[in-house]
Amino acid sequence: MAAAEDSRPFAGLSDVSISEDIPVEGDISVPVGSSRRDDELSTLDEPVKETILRDLRAVGNKFVHVLYPKRSSALLRDWDLWGPLLLCVTLALLLQGGAADSDDQGGPQFAEVFVIIWFGSIIITLNSKLLGGTISFFQSLCVLGYCIMPLTVAMAVCRLVLLGGTGMVSFAVRLAVVTASFGWSTFASTAFLTDSQPPNRKALVVYPVFLFYFVIGWMVLTFSPSQ
Amino acid sequence: MTMADDTEDVELDFAADEQERARRSAVIRHPLASFFHLFFRVVAIVVYLLCDWISKSFASCFVLIIALLSFDFWSVKNVTGRLLVGLRWWNQIDEDGRSLWVFEAKKLGASRGSNTGTEAEARIFWLGLIICPLIWTFFFFTSLFSLKIKWLSLVVASISLQAANLYGYLRCKAGGQNGQPPDKCSFSGQHLLQRPDIIFGIL
């Protein structure tokens, strides 16, 4: 009997049955997104002033996050490029030398600063993506752009210091300010960017960022006002 | 019992007052949005053409044009798109840090009672959206061949701002017409199949 049973491999299956008393229960939740549709409807119908204020608050929030670079995800989750655009334009204007009608001041021209900042950010982003980073293109641009803020502040301080003269003391002060802000920018951006990289590649990602802020810091430090 | 199956939305017009009916039959429902949709773009092009008369400084022209085009980008993306043609696109990062592009379109049948734009407004929207990047492309070639490299950087920035909206709305439109779920571009496609909340915008 046993041999005959063993020779039919699925013999026992016909006896298998589930008693109807056993409750089969589970939870299938399909997020229909109705609550999200309500959010969408409410943002669709909100007055334009509300939208503007909301976006402005988001940008301001990110500036605060650059000032105190903790490992938070605010810069990464809700990225936007308004802050970088504003900082880029401000920095380029501050590097103008104050002359309104001529562009050959010996300092970087307006369009050069723009191109350096944006092309530099794009190339660093491409580099980090090629090295296998998980951060998205625009998130990386957002972080790099917002972290220019310390250097912009340093530029404003340098302009003020240069009002007082261009001697050794002024140079020493400017050097200290620029070095501090360069360190701050690099530290802040690597705090956000290196989380997304595999651990043995972190240095490969950090050095272009270092170069990028170094070039900007160099432009800030070597700025001299026209007479 | 059969009444429950017959729940097609029938518009009972006797409840609509004069204002509502006038709004629904107007040629342009959102005059302010239509105006601003075109205003910033056209003024930016005019400033570019007349910049020698406006200011001697390249920097101020640059800043003015970029500011105008930034306002234009923001208003077209956030306001005029959804008001005039009921389309919207955005990017969101989900909890795993993956980037997700969402393109959304209002379902055509639902626009009866809603506030979306009329035919004229849709035409204004698309004409403004398509013609201006073409004009900037023309400026690209003129500045390239006249070797004004400074202006080339400005034109490239302008083209990228304008083309971004054009591309986003074209994808919304393409997704809407085929009746497919909106295009979702992400770096992990499988994840999206488990996200049915990003559905076609059914209103």
DSSP bridge partners of B186: B100
Cβ-defined contact of A196 to B201 (cutoff 8 Å): no
Cβ-defined contact of A30 to B196 (cutoff 8 Å): yes
Over range B10-34, report the average pLDDT: 71
Cβ-defined contact of A41 to B57 (cutoff 8 Å): no
B51 neighbourhood in chain A, CB within 8 Å: none
Closest CA of chain B from A101, distance in Å? 5
Q: Which residue of B has its CA nearest to A140?
A: B99
Range of the domain at A127: 107-226
pLDDT at A218: 92
Residues in chain B: 203
Residue B9, pLDDT > 90, answer: no
* A57, part of any domain: no
* A32, part of any domain: no
Q: Which of A67-76, A86-95, A161-170, B123-132 has the lowest mean pLDDT?
A: A67-76
* A13, part of any domain: no
Q: How far apart, in whole angstroms, are the C-alpha atoms of residue B203 and residue B198?
A: 13
Task: List all residues 6 or more positions away from A162 whose beta carbon is below 8 Å from its beta carbon.
Answer: A170, A174, A223, A224, A225
Give B142-199 pLDDT, tens digit per residue: 999 998 888 898 999 999 999 999 999 988 888 766 544 444 443 333 333 444 344 3
Closest CA of chain A from B150, distance in Å? 6
Q: Which residue of A has its CA nearest to B93?
A: A77
| Structural domains of chain A, count | 1
Q: Which of A1-15, A184-198, B92-106 has the lowest mean pLDDT?
A: A1-15
Q: Which residue of B has its CA nearest to A94?
A: B59
Cβ-defined contact of A114 to B91 (cutoff 8 Å): no
A137 neighbourhood in chain B, CB within 8 Å: 99
pLDDT at B197: 42
Q: Tell me the CA distances in angstroms from B167 to B60, B164, B174, one per residue in order.
A: 29, 5, 10
Residue A38, pLDDT > 70, answer: no
* A143, part of any domain: yes
Q: How far apart, in whole angstroms, are the C-alpha atoms of residue B71 and residue B77?
A: 10
Structure tokens at B44: 């930016």
* A80, part of any domain: no
Q: Which residue of A has its CA nearest to B153?
A: A111
pLDDT at A7: 59
A53 interface with B at CB cutoff 8 Å: no
A30 neighbourhood in chain B, CB within 8 Å: 196-197
Q: How far apart, in whole angstroms, are the C-alpha atoms of residue B126 and residue A155?
A: 43
Cβ-defined contact of B63 to A89 (cutoff 8 Å): yes
Please tell me whether residue A128 adopts helix, strand or coil conformation. Answer: helix
Burial of A3 (0-12, 13-18, 19+ CB in 10 A): exposed
* A70, part of any domain: no
Structure tokens at A85: 């655009």
In 3D, which of A113, A100, A104, A111 has the Cα closest to residue B56?
A100
| Facing residue for B82 by CB, picked from A44, A79, A118 | A44
Cβ-defined contact of A136 to B78 (cutoff 8 Å): no
Size of interface A-B (CB pairs under 8 A): 77
| Residues A75-112 as b or e (16 or more Cβ within 10 Å = b) | bbebbbbbbbbbbbbbbbbbbbbeeeeebebebbbbbb
| Facing residue for B58 by CB, picked from A30, A79, A103 | A103
Alpha-helix runs per DSSP H in chain A: 2-7, 34-45, 48-67, 74-77, 82-94, 110-130, 137-146, 149-163, 168-193, 202-221
Expressed in angstroms, the distance from the first to the final Cα of chain B is 26
- Edge-to-edge strands, sheet with B184-186: B87-93, B99-105, B184-186
Closest CA of chain B from A223, distance in Å? 17
Over range A91-98, report the average pLDDT: 80
* A199, part of any domain: yes
- Higher per-residue pLDDT: A208 or B111: A208
Cβ-defined contact of A110 to B58 (cutoff 8 Å): yes
Q: Which of A9-23, A111-125, B14-28 has the lowest mean pLDDT?
A: B14-28
Q: What is the 3-state secondary structure (H, E, C) of chain B?
A: CHHHHCCCCCCCHHHCCHHHHHHHHCCCCCHHHHHHHHHHHHHHHHHHHCHHHHCCCHHHHHHHHHHHHHHHHHHHHHHHHHHHHCEEEEEEECCCCCEEEEEEECCHHHHHCCCCCCHHHHHHHHHHHHHHHHHHHHHHHHHHHCCCHHHHHHHHHHHHHHHHHHHHHHHHHHHHHCCCCCCEEECCHHHHHCCCCCCCCCC
Residue A105, pLDDT > 80, answer: no
Percent of chain A whose predicted confidence (pLDDT) is above 70: 78
Cβ-defined contact of B198 to A33 (cutoff 8 Å): yes
pLDDT at A86: 92
* A67, part of any domain: no
Asked if B119 contacts B127 with a C-beta cutoff of 8 angstroms, the reply is no
pLDDT at B187: 35
Over range B64-84, report the average pLDDT: 90
Burial of A150 (0-12, 13-18, 19+ CB in 10 A): buried
- Whole-prediction pTM value? 0.73
Q: Which of A24-38, A108-122, B44-58 has the lowest mean pLDDT?
A: A24-38
Residues 54-73 of A with CB under 8 A from B: 55
Please tell me whether residue A221 adopts helix, strand or coil conformation. Answer: helix
ipTM of the complex: 0.70
Give B77-129 pLDDT, tens digit per residue: 988 888 888 888 888 877 776 778 888 887 765 545 566 778 888 888 899 99
Asked if B86 contacts B117 with a C-beta cutoff of 8 angstroms, the reply is yes
Mean pLDDT of chain A: 79
Q: How far apart, in whole angstroms, are the C-alpha atoms of residue B118 and residue B86?
A: 11
Over range A125-148, report the average pLDDT: 87
Over range A52-58, report the average pLDDT: 86
pLDDT at A37: 44
- Higher per-residue pLDDT: A177 or B26: A177
A32 interface with B at CB cutoff 8 Å: yes
Closest CA of chain A from B167, distance in Å? 16
Q: How far apart, in whole angstroms, are the C-alpha atoms of residue B120 and residue B125?
A: 9
Over range A49-66, report the average pLDDT: 84
Asked if A85 contacts B66 with a C-beta cutoff of 8 angstroms, the reply is yes
Q: Which residue of A has its CA nearest to B155?
A: A111
pLDDT at B188: 37
pLDDT at A129: 85
- Higher per-residue pLDDT: B52 or A154: A154
- Higher per-residue pLDDT: B46 or A33: B46
Phi, psi of B140 (to 5 degrees): -60, -45
